[in-house]
Amino acid sequence: MLKRGSVLELTVEKVADRGMSLTRIDGYVVFIPGGIPGDKLSVRIRRAKKKFAEAVVLEVIEASPDRIEPRCSHFGTCGGCKWQHMTYSAQLEAKRQSVEDALHRQGGLTDLKVENVIGAATLFRYRNKMEFSFSAERWLTTEEIGSGRPVDKSFALGLHVPGNFAKVLDLRECHLHSEEGERLLNRIRLLAREKAWEPWHIRNHTGYLRHLVLRNAANTDDFMVNLVTNGFDEEKIGEFAAILKEEFPSVTTLVNTINTGVAQTAFGEKIHTIYGPGTIKDKIGRFTFEIAPNAFFQTNTHQAENLYRVAASFADLKKTDHVYDLYSGAGTISIYIAEQVRQVTGVELIEAATQNARQNASANGIKNVSFVTGDMMKVFRDDFIEQHGRPDVLIVDPPRAGMHPKVVDQIIRLRPERFVYVSCNPISQAKDLSLLADTFEIEAVQPVDLFPHTYHIENVVKLRARKHST
Ligand SMILES: C[S@@+](CC[C@H](N)C(=O)[O-])C[C@H]1O[C@@H](n2cnc3c(N)ncnc32)[C@H](O)[C@@H]1O
């Protein structure tokens, strides 16, 4: 076991969960944030436990061939990107390995081939949504503290630093969102400071400005600004709107979400449309989707299409099929596949998303889809199946936590011939797959990268009902 504070040299072996890297010293695991496989590093042990330690990098003695210069000046402090300092090919391999590890470790599924990740063609400016926070407590970087220069700590607009929910890093650039988004971020900060509008104080629950949510479309020119404030102030939002209209004609709609609660969320009790339609439209394939301020929509539009394409091809869709699209959100998968099948039935928890799904279906002239609002755990029972009919194909795309065991049990009893499991969390997916293993055989595992420079990955698994369930 290593001691806290000790300094040593090591070579990074592989990537680990949540964007960390690790190396093993006589079986003892050392986690190193910021390391890249192949890096020779000098590190200091920050935390030492019985089975593992955590180290901080003091110096890169010999860089891995996969180490590159990060593009963003905030890299290392901001929690948004973990891998900007790693070549994209190494990122993709790290993601493939993370899926394989999850299947092995969490699912006990050892003999599966995980295909090479389908990478993104656009590595920067790919996000169609960014949620920034205002805070009366600014996070000071090590350089700012070291410089000795006075810094105003009472205002920040940016992202929360990892592990600190009160303090916000004052972000000047973000290469994941659009250039227009970056310009807006900096102009809105300046405006708020000029007008002396108070940022939200997370501990005291005071202040006016809470969040700035930017949503742009990848395949249309629509752009939404959603200013989340503690209460409605007609004069302030009027001044805000006037500046946007004058200086940012690219912004097609401004909404003002009111959140007077203490929870640190961009959702609120009321949404005022200040100008424009209050929604934006984007396209996936040849389908147009209307997106409300709080609607779930995959954050990388181009790669969402690749994700849906894989899901559809894994489902081997036939014109006679009835498909269940479970956890259907705004109905994007249902609508994407509708013309290839006889009928799609979606289930989604959030009523607003279901309404959005129905509107989207109707706006695209799709008639063979229907959506049910409800919690899967409560809705997905025998009477639901009796009412809607047995599906030929099941497509599920649950949230990060995965599926409730009751839902898994129902899928086992239902035993559809074809089954596609889409997930944004290979760990919860692997746990679910281990429960399903006796009933379904896994035929293919295809990760798709929607989030370059982060450790996040979408994974699509193709399952088939076993001929004789054991
Ligand atoms: C990862 S999103 C998938 C959305 C959609 N398939 C897409 O690609 O846009 C997961 C969806 O599951 C919904 N959800 C979460 N928990 C649920 C539950 N218990 N029952 C039904 N839907 C749920 C969320 O509201 C969200 O829309």
Which ligand 1 atom minimizes the distance to the CA of 331?
Answer: 5
Around ligand 1, the residues with Cβ closer than 6 Å are 296, 298, 327-330, 332-333, 347-350, 353, 375-377, 397-399, 424
How far does residue 335's CA lie from ligand 1's centre (Å)? 15
How far does residue 298's CA lie from ligand 1's centre (Å)? 11
Q: Are 254 and 275 in contact (CB under 8 A)?
A: yes
Task: Give nearest CA residue, ligand 1 atom 26.
Answer: 329
For the chain, where do the domains classified as CATH 2.40.50.1070 start and end? 129-281
Q: What is the CATH number of domain 129-281?
A: 2.40.50.1070
Task: Give nearest CA residue, ligand 1 atom 4.
Answer: 329
pLDDT, residue 130, reads 97
Give the pTM. 0.93
Confidence of residue 468 (pLDDT cuts 50, 70, 90): low
Select the CATH number that applies to the domain covering 7-67 from these four: 2.60.120.10, 3.30.160.70, 2.40.50.140, 3.40.50.720.
2.40.50.140
For the chain, where do the domains classified as CATH 3.40.50.150 start and end? 98-122+285-465
Which ligand 1 atom minimizes the distance to the CA of 308?
Answer: 8
Alpha-carbon span 296 to 350, nearest angstrom: 10
For the chain, where do the domains classified as CATH 2.40.50.140 start and end? 7-67
Task: Give nearest CA residue, ligand 1 atom 6.
Answer: 328
Q: Which residue of the set 72, 81, 174, 424 is catalytic? A: 424
Q: Which of 300, 307, 327, 333 to mutate to test the pocket of ligand 1 (most atoms within 8 A of CB)?
A: 327
Largest CA distance in the chain: 72
Give the rounded percent of residues in the chain with a pLDDT score beyond 90: 87
Task: Give nearest CA residue, ligand 1 atom 12.
Answer: 327
How far does residue 42's CA lie from ligand 1's centre (Å)? 44
Q: Which of 129, 282, 335, 348 to mutate to test the pocket of ligand 1 (most atoms within 8 A of CB)?
A: 348
List, for residues 11-54, the tens digit of each pLDDT value.
999 999 888 999 999 889 999 999 999 999 999 999 999 889 99
Q: Are 394 and 411 in contact (CB under 8 A)?
A: yes
Give the rounded percent of residues in the chain with a pLDDT score beyond 70: 99
Select the CATH number that applies to the domain covering 98-122+285-465 from these four: 3.40.50.150, 2.60.120.260, 3.40.30.10, 3.30.450.20.
3.40.50.150
List, for residues 352-403, the tens digit of each pLDDT value.
889 999 999 999 999 999 999 999 999 999 999 999 999 999 999 999 999 9
For residue 280, give both structure tokens.
């934006």
pLDDT mean over 233-251: 98
pLDDT mean over 399-408: 97
Alpha-carbon span 122 to 300, nearest angstrom: 10
Average pLDDT taken over every residue of the chain: 95
**Alpha-carbon distances of 82 from 15, 55, 98, 426, 462, rounded to whole Å:** 11, 16, 14, 18, 29
| Long-range contacts (CB closer than 8 Å, 24 or more residues apart) made by 50-58 | 50/1, 52/28, 53/1, 53/2, 53/28, 53/29, 54/30, 55/10, 55/30, 55/31, 56/32, 57/32, 57/33, 58/7
pLDDT, residue 367, reads 97
pLDDT, residue 304, reads 97
How far does residue 296's CA lie from ligand 1's centre (Å)? 8
pLDDT at 462 over 90: yes
pLDDT, residue 111, reads 87
pLDDT, residue 268, reads 83
List, for residues 288-316, the tens digit of each pLDDT value.
999 989 888 999 999 999 999 999 999 99
Q: Which of 129, 284, 291, 296 to mutate to test the pocket of ligand 1 (most atoms within 8 A of CB)?
A: 296
How far does residue 348's CA lie from ligand 1's centre (Å)? 6
User: Is 174 a catalytic site residue?
Assistant: no
pLDDT, residue 147, reads 85
pLDDT at 320 over 90: yes
List, for residues 278-287, the tens digit of each pLDDT value.
999 999 999 9
How far does residue 234's CA lie from ligand 1's centre (Å)? 35
